[in-house]
Structure 1
């Protein structure tokens, strides 16, 4: 696969992370208008499950973005494709649930739609990358 395709894949990974970070920032906008965002029963300590979730949706995709530029191994391609596909399902469900729960929040719906489209394009590019590897055998 040419360098242009790996650049696209790397870019899509980074774009998804950027979009999800904007999503988190958008969630904090209510603070400026006096909205209470503290979770009921919060103790001031972030639970480990949130640390793990952050690793899975922000840090791991950044590693995929970086490693895509340097690795061309079949196993890496399979893992990337599987992870991106699961991530796409997560982003799809999140988009749908946000659209149902917060129909008036057009910026969130638009942003999550953008993240979902980026994720679909990522899966398609990864599939082409993997398919080219299989056809080369």
Structure 2
């Protein structure tokens, strides 16, 4: 994966990830779990959430977020690619030999293990680590 090189690219990648979640509602903690696959900077995380809200991608209500995605899920057939190699999962840190990468307009995000890719995209109901 090519890391986003600028602050703006990082924000765009994370906002696009939030826009593609398959869950309509999630806790702030679950949203941050997804954002941390792009950045662990608290100031960037706040900027990402603010940007997503300003663009109408999410509505915040206290510690809950409602995703207003308009049906733009990650397509596993065209947007998720796998590569063989020696990787560390970007979400949980586990060593993996098959990396799953999400291709978004703003960039590529990964690698993830087979269960973490489902959590990151919101396909798995268990958003907690």
Provide TM-score, normalisation by structure 2.
0.31
- Structure with more contact order per residue of length (Cα contacts < 8 Å, sep ≥ 6): 1
The structure whose Rg is larger is 1
Provide TM-score, normalisation by structure 1.
0.29
The structure that is strand-richer by fraction is 2
